[in-house]
Structure 1
Amino acid sequence: MTGSALAPLRDRRFRWYFGSRAVDMVGDFMGGIALAFAVLEVSDSPSALGAVLAAHSIPMVAFLLIGGVLADRFGRTLIIQLSNVTAGVTQLAIAALILSGHAEIWQLVVLTAVNGVAAAANQPALAGLLPQLAPKDSLQQANVLNGLLRNIALVFAPALGGALVVTVGAGWAIAINGVTYLVAAALLVPIKLPPPPARADRTGVLKDLRIGWAFFRGTTWLWVIVLAFGVLNALSSGGNGTLGPAYAKASAIGVGGWALIVSAGACGLVLTSLVLLHVPLRRPLLWGMLGCSLHGAPMIALGTTDQLWIVVVAAFAGGAGIEIFGLGWDLAMQEHVPADMLSRVYSYDMLGSFIAIPAGQLAFGPLGAAFGLQHMILAAGVAYFVIALATLASRSVRTMERADATSTTSAPVS
């Protein structure tokens, strides 16, 4: 990597942010594995595990919009720190219950739900903070470094979590995750940013939500892609996430083959991140949605063949494509949404994109049983490919260009 690729790290504030994200991501991916096995220690029931996982995701989706308003109102670093401290305390409480042998499923559901509320505030705040810390001419590199960090953590942190569960137990692994949340919050303390500007017209949370909604519905490229991803994420979670492992286990691909497919996707993410440190995306949404269409390739391959190498190559291409989309989307949001409402608009994006995921997870099981696993995986992959490309029918999507690196959309907020 050249010096320009690492330019954002020359800024002291970005280095503190980068360190905080590194600790946070490793702990989060590790803790997810540990929590699953901890629940299964308390109750050897998939239904109990599903209840605990849903207890996190439902409040997270339900409170995303409020989280975006809080981040824009009170400062993104403060909201991230408060949410990390809350998550750290809940994880430590779960760990104490597991280690003491007194844990019950209802307790884990309640504590995980509190963690989900904290995540609802954390995610929009994180999305809005990065462009405040990166120089305008290094915004692409800053986003790529953040994505590269996430992808590397995604490769090894779950394995670390599994190793900790085997060696010291799920309770201690969750306790370590709780500490990582607190450390991540502490690492943001040196970051000093101007407070959010006072607004005389600010009358309440509902008005802030209405302002964010007005911008969202009035910005064509924004609602077109969020609407598409409401469907795309349902297709991916159902066709790939739910039916993919089931078909692999029942076919010649096997469990080991499925692990290779997942690893190939992760390799596509990481290697594409390295390339994007040097290759500028002048039309972020055009290239982003072209890349997004490749994420349908592994489902199309899995739906048409049992040849493992073909599916592995398709998974690599899918990982590479979705990484291009992730960068293009962040650049479009950060450069074309006013800074003082960025977290709110990100929260509308997240809500629209995430809300249909449970529907895909629930619907594709019965559909696969009725019409065949491979047929439904193929149908999901083809639909994914077509819908992703269909967004390019919108002129605002295919023609958007990067903003002038010297321009700003609004006064910075913290």
Structure 2
Amino acid sequence: MTTAPPPSASGTGGPGRSVLRDVAFLRLWTGNTASGLATWALPFVLGLAVLERSLSPSALGLVLAARTVGFLAAVPVGGVLADRRSRREMVLWAGSAAAVATPLIALGLGRSVPLMAVAAALAGAGQGACRPAFQALTAEVVEAARRQRANAAMTLAVRVTTLVAPAATALLAIVLDARGLLFGIALLWLVAALAPPPGGPAPTAAGRERAGFLAEFAEGVAEARRHPWFLAGLAALTAVIATGYSATGVALPLISRDRYGGEAVLAGAATAYIVGALIGALITARRRPRAQGWNALAGLALYALAPLSLLLPVHPWVIIAAYVITGIGIELFNVPWFTATQREIEPGKLARVSSLDFLLSYGLAPLGLALIAPAMNAFGPEPVLGACAAVCLLAPAAAALVPGTRRFSNEPHGSAAAGNAKTP
């Protein structure tokens, strides 16, 4: 039996009240949005520094690699600490660490690449540590009947900022150099650290003797293994990101340049993906299919359209349409996936299980990017894109065969019903 989450400490209203009118949720939404915008902005601003010639391309790669290492190292640590202590406290310390580290990146810009790399690793650690804490804090602040709408609002904010932020940053770059923009990112991290509301009490029972870090993380892994639908969904998500996402990330710029003679298709497809994700988030805010897990996995399988659209010399609008559908599909998966995890996982282990989710799904993406380019050089883009499309179709289909994936729940009719309850 799934342990019920503790009542919200923030005094959220009943299920008849819109989540968007709740002050506690809006504070959480603001903090999460600020962290997402700061996370996106760093590589973009450092790219501007390359254009300013205050940073070399090789130094940019080193700094971004250091950030990725910091992120991957901190995700499991953040998950354990967020379950051991207050989730709100974890967000505060993680956001503050990133806020302190970002000005150090600005200080090293044009002066010391090692300083920038160390500071980027610390910023990445703050980013990684706050991810599972935000996931668990959402379950504390928002009651179960309204979490799907809350998660949809979270992802809507991320997609909107991703859509408008490049233009906004380019406008700011007229009056600010890369160093000034980095200080702006530090301010975003301060908002992420300070804005979220208090959550519930620390999940670990008082007086319980604490195990070591590895033992506590192993408890999270054991909790994940208790939910076969979670392992199956995570395996499918990881496979799609490591193949489809990585393949199109490498192939799309090349095909846009070589087949269509410029960057227009690349820019159009990237924008179409975000627009599709916005549509998908709006759909999931309202829609509650009975077989929610299968519906989510079908949405994930739509990612196969992205590599398929790049296989043949089709009209550019075919690629644009494919990326719109792909964006819709990824949010048809993401929102129910986050909601089911918050509903089904034992509350005291939620941050650790969420950290496992981020560690595998996002952690293997760089590996996929590193392997796709040599594979395309060795076998050509068409076989690689075809293989990636097959994985994107077959991995979710295989996951759908696992018990519990129909509703993303171990209980065929019980706790899943809460996720299907009508909300305003």
TM-score by length of 2: 0.88
Q: Is the 8 A contact 1:148 1:270 kept in 2?
A: yes
Aligned match of 2:198 in 179, 191, 197? 191
Query: Quick check: 193-202 or 380-389, which moved more?
Result: 193-202
Aligned match of 2:41 in 24, 30, 43? 30
Give the C-alpha shift of residue 6 in structure 1. Answer: 7.5
The aligned counterpart of 2:25 is 14
The aligned counterpart of 2:104 is 93
Q: Is the 8 A contact 1:269 1:319 kept in 2?
A: yes
| Percent of paired sites with the same residue | 26
Which amino acid letter does the alignment assign opposite residue 369 of structure 2?
Answer: Q
Aligned match of 1:63 in 50, 74, 81? 74
| Distance (whole Å) between structure 1 residues aligned to residue 300 and residue 232 of structure 2 | 14
| Distance (whole Å) between structure 2 residues aligned to residue 199 and residue 224 of structure 1 | 35
| Distance (whole Å) between structure 2 residues aligned to residue 62 and residue 336 of structure 1 | 26
Aligned residue for 1:398, secondary structure, equals: coil
Q: Is the 8 A contact 1:291 1:321 kept in 2?
A: yes
Give the C-alpha shift of residue 5 in structure 1. Answer: 9.8
Q: Is the 8 A contact 1:295 1:322 kept in 2?
A: yes
Aligned match of 1:81 in 81, 84, 92? 92
Q: Is the 8 A contact 1:84 1:118 kept in 2?
A: yes
Which amino acid letter does the alignment assign opposite residue 195 of structure 1?
Answer: A
Compared CA separation, residues 201 and 358, structure 1 to 2 (3 A): same
Aligned residue for 1:246, secondary structure, equals: helix
| Distance (whole Å) between structure 1 residues aligned to residue 311 and residue 302 of structure 2 | 15
Which amino acid letter does the alignment assign opposite residue 403 of structure 1?
Answer: A
Q: Does 1:405 align with 2:418?
A: yes
Q: Is the 8 A contact 1:40 1:49 kept in 2?
A: no
Q: Is the 8 A contact 2:83 2:352 kept in 1?
A: yes
Query: How many residues are treated as equivalent by the alignment?
Result: 401
The aligned counterpart of 1:359 is 367
Q: Does 1:313 align with 2:330?
A: no
Compared CA separation, residues 406 and 254, structure 1 to 2 (3 A): closer
Q: Does 1:266 align with 2:277?
A: no
Aligned residue for 1:280, secondary structure, equals: coil
Give the C-alpha shift of residue 50 in structure 1. Answer: 1.4
Which amino acid letter does the alignment assign opposite residue 121 of structure 1?
Answer: A
| Distance (whole Å) between structure 2 residues aligned to residue 270 and residue 17 of structure 1 | 20
Give the C-alpha shift of residue 90 in structure 1. Answer: 1.0
Compared CA separation, residues 406 and 232, structure 1 to 2 (3 A): closer
Q: Is the 8 A contact 2:140 2:199 kept in 1?
A: no
Which amino acid letter does the alignment assign opposite residue 148 of structure 1?
Answer: L
| Distance (whole Å) between structure 1 residues aligned to residue 316 and residue 125 of structure 2 | 40
| Distance (whole Å) between structure 2 residues aligned to residue 374 and residue 244 of structure 1 | 12
Compared CA separation, residues 82 and 149, structure 1 to 2 (3 A): same
Q: Is the 8 A contact 2:102 2:182 kept in 1?
A: yes
Give the C-alpha shift of residue 262 in structure 1. Answer: 0.9
Q: Does 1:287 align with 2:287?
A: no
The aligned counterpart of 2:238 is 230
Compared CA separation, residues 252 and 306, structure 1 to 2 (3 A): farther
Please list the CA deviations of residues 274-319 of structure 1 after superposition, one character each: whole Å capped at 9, or x if unmatched.
2222212433321111000001111101112331111111110000
Aligned residue for 2:111, secondary structure, equals: coil
| Distance (whole Å) between structure 2 residues aligned to residue 43 and residue 385 of structure 1 | 44
| Distance (whole Å) between structure 1 residues aligned to residue 251 and residue 376 of structure 2 | 7
Q: Does 1:144 align with 2:156?
A: no
Q: Does 1:167 align with 2:147?
A: no
Give the C-alpha shift of residue 362 in structure 1. Answer: 1.2
Give the C-alpha shift of residue 199 in structure 1. Answer: 4.9
Q: Is the 8 A contact 2:259 2:313 kept in 1?
A: no
Give the C-alpha shift of residue 211 in structure 1. Answer: 1.2
Q: Is the 8 A contact 2:308 2:386 kept in 1?
A: yes
Please list the CA deviations of residues 131-170 of structure 1 after superposition, one character each: whole Å capped at 9, or x if unmatched.
2111222111111111111111111113222332343111
Which amino acid letter does the alignment assign opposite residue 359 of structure 2?
Answer: L
Query: Quick check: 301-310 or 374-383, which moved more?
Result: 374-383
Q: Is the 8 A contact 2:83 2:202 kept in 1?
A: no
Q: Is the 8 A contact 1:268 1:318 kept in 2?
A: yes
Q: Is the 8 A contact 2:103 2:183 kept in 1?
A: yes
Q: Which runs of 4+ in 1 moved over 6 A?
A: none
Aligned residue for 2:416, secondary structure, equals: coil
The aligned counterpart of 1:48 is 59
Compared CA separation, residues 355 and 22, structure 1 to 2 (3 A): closer
Q: Is the 8 A contact 1:151 1:269 kept in 2?
A: yes
Give the C-alpha shift of residue 93 in structure 1. Answer: 2.0
Please list the CA deviations of residues 89-144 of structure 1 after superposition, one character each: whole Å capped at 9, or x if unmatched.
1112222343xxx5221111110011122222111101111121112221111111
Structure 2 alignment gaps of length 5 or more: 1-14, 410-414
Q: Is the 8 A contact 2:407 2:416 kept in 1?
A: no
Give the C-alpha shift of residue 256 in structure 1. Answer: 0.8
The aligned counterpart of 1:341 is 349
The aligned counterpart of 2:388 is 380
Which amino acid letter does the alignment assign opposite residue 355 of structure 1?
Answer: G
Q: Is the 8 A contact 1:97 1:103 kept in 2?
A: yes
Compared CA separation, residues 372 and 306, structure 1 to 2 (3 A): farther
Which amino acid letter does the alignment assign opposite residue 152 of structure 1?
Answer: V
| Distance (whole Å) between structure 2 residues aligned to residue 154 and residue 406 of structure 1 | 28
| Distance (whole Å) between structure 2 residues aligned to residue 142 and residue 259 of structure 1 | 30
What is the RMSD of the two structures over their aligned residues, measured on CA atoms?
Answer: 2.4
Which amino acid letter does the alignment assign opposite residue 366 of structure 2?
Answer: P
Which amino acid letter does the alignment assign opposite residue 198 of structure 2?
Answer: I
Give the C-alpha shift of residue 44 in structure 1. Answer: 5.5
TM-score by length of 1: 0.90
Q: Is the 8 A contact 2:240 2:303 kept in 1?
A: no
Compared CA separation, residues 192 and 65, structure 1 to 2 (3 A): closer
Compared CA separation, residues 6 and 271, structure 1 to 2 (3 A): farther
Give the C-alpha shift of residue 404 in structure 1. Answer: 4.1
Structure 1 alignment gaps of length 5 or more: 408-414
